[in-house]
Amino acid sequence: MGKVPTRLVSWEDIVEWSRGLAIKVRESNYKPDVIIAVARGGFVPARLLCDFLNVENLISIQSQHWTEAAKAAEKAIIKFAYELDLSGKKALLVDDIVDTGESLILARDFILKHWKPAELRIATLQWISPVAKLKPDYYYIEVTEWIWFQYPWTRLEDTFQFMKRMISEEGKHKKVWSYDELVGKFLEWYEIDVGEKYFREAIRLLIEEGILELHDDMYYYRG
Ligand code: ADE
């Protein structure tokens, strides 16, 4: 996999989008008794929705994608599935984004079957309408062309993965890199500036993984 269309999302964006989402929920007159965050992407938006909607009860469910290497197919599973009684309660299931929608569909079906809330609605900051198999009851932004949103809570993970991809491709013909060259090439590939702290942390992880080696201020590609 090569270059990915990417947009940097700031903490300020997240607060603004969460507030906008909360207003949509409020204006629909839905007053949830409990908010359910989909781990891990829904954690920050769910906490902010608790604040903007004045909801005290916050729980979570972890719905995760597993790549079945042999089949090259993806399958979502509920991790740490636990029993809970939400009968009589109005619930709001919150995630950052509906992309394919598979992990949210799985979480929704699990909750309806096992936790049995009186009502369950879904709210997400973003909805990628052309690829999603599910339309949330509430969303703040409809995305009409697929893009990778670089959220602040996956900044290091994404920078590391992106840099790993870039260096494994560029490393075919360039083995020795300065810090400025690594960052310069990253900016050229992805057109997002995550800042020096994240670039340094990502490079540290690449060294830990044995992909880069540091000698006299230069990074040697060993992948
Ligand atoms: N998680 C799943 N799809 C995503 C996307 N397009 N951007 C950011 N995070 C995601």
Residue with the smallest CA separation from ligand 1 atom 3 is 99
**CA-CA distance, 87 to 107, in Å (whole number)?**
17
Q: Mean pLDDT across the chain, nearest whole number?
A: 95
> Model pTM?
0.95
Distance 88 CA to ligand 1 centre (A): 33
Instruction: State the average pLDDT over residues 13-28.
Output: 98
Q: 31-54, pLDDT tens digit by residue? A: 999 999 999 999 999 999 999 999
Instruction: State the average pLDDT over residues 16-34.
Output: 98
Q: What is the pLDDT of residue 118?
A: 98
Asked if residue 192 lies in contact with residue 163, where contact means CB atoms within 8 angstroms, the answer is no
Contact 99 CB / ligand 1 (< 6 Å)? yes
Q: Which helix (H) or strand (E) holds 15?
A: helix 11-27
Residues 60, 136, single domain; the answer is yes
Q: Which of 150, 185, 207 is the last residue of a domain?
A: 150
Residue 10 is part of which domain span?
6-150
Q: Which of 108, 125, 150 is the last residue of a domain?
A: 150
Distance 146 CA to ligand 1 centre (A): 9
> How many domains does the chain contain in total?
2
Residues 185, 89, single domain; the answer is no
Residue 68 has pLDDT above 70, yes or no: no
Asked if residue 191 lies in contact with residue 150, where contact means CB atoms within 8 angstroms, the answer is no
**CA-CA distance, 128 to 104, in Å (whole number)?**
13
Residue 1 has pLDDT above 70, yes or no: no
**CA-CA distance, 28 to 15, in Å (whole number)?**
20
Task: Determine the residue of 67, 149, 150 to mutate for testing ligand 1's pocket, defined as the one with the most ligand atoms within 8 A of the Cβ atom.
Answer: 149
Give a yes or no: residue 1 inside a domain: no
Residue 215: give its domain's CATH number. 1.10.10.10
Q: What is the pLDDT of residue 65?
A: 78
| Percent of the residues in the chain that have a pLDDT greater than 90, as a whole number | 92
Residues 52, 130, single domain; the answer is yes
Residue 139 has pLDDT above 70, yes or no: yes
Quickly state the pLDDT bin for 140 (edges 50, 70, 90). very high
Instruction: State the average pLDDT over residues 127-144.
Output: 98
Enter the tokens of residue 132: 């999603």
Residue 178 has pLDDT above 60, yes or no: yes
Residue 72 has pLDDT above 60, yes or no: no
Enter the tokens of residue 218: 């230069």
Asked if residue 100 lies in contact with residue 73, where contact means CB atoms within 8 angstroms, the answer is no
Quickly state the pLDDT bin for 2 (edges 50, 70, 90). low
Asked if residue 76 lies in contact with residue 95, where contact means CB atoms within 8 angstroms, the answer is no
Residue 71 has pLDDT above 90, yes or no: no
Q: 80-103, pLDDT tens digit by residue? A: 999 999 999 999 999 999 999 999
Q: 189-215, pLDDT tens digit by residue? A: 999 999 999 999 999 999 999 999 999
Q: Helix, strand or coil for residue 135?
A: coil
